[in-house]
Amino acid sequence: MFSSLRPAFVLLVSFTLITGVAYPLAVTAVARVAFPQQAGGSLVRVAGRSAGSRLIGQEFAGERWFHGRPSATSPKPYDAMVSSGSNLGPTNPALLAAVHKRAEEERASSGNSTKAVPVDLVTASGSGLDPHVSPAAARWQVARVARARGLDSTVVRALVDRHTEPRQFGLLGVPRVNVLELNLALERMTGGR
User: How confident is the model at residue 141, as a pLDDT?
Assistant: 93
162-171 in b/e burial notation, b at 16+ Cβ within 10 A? ebbeeeeeee
DSSP per-residue codes, 55-82: TS-----STTS---PPP--SSSTT-GGG
- Whether 185 shows a pLDDT value over 80: the answer reads yes
Average pLDDT (132-160) is: 93
**pLDDT exceeds cutoff 90 at 130:** no
Rounded percentage of the chain residues whose pLDDT exceeds 90: 46
Mean pLDDT of 75-93: 78
Task: Provide mean pLDDT across the span 76-104.
Answer: 83
C-alpha to C-alpha distances, 193 to 68, 111, 147, 186, nearest whole angstrom: 21, 22, 12, 10
**Where are the chain's structural domains?**
1-40, 42-190
Q: How confident is the model at residue 142 (pLDDT cuts 50, 70, 90)?
A: very high
Average pLDDT (30-58) is 85
Q: Identify whether the C-beta of residue 82 lies closer than 8 Å to the C-beta of residue 73.
A: yes
pTM for the model: 0.78
Look at residue 85 and tell me whether its pLDDT is greater than 70.
Answer: no
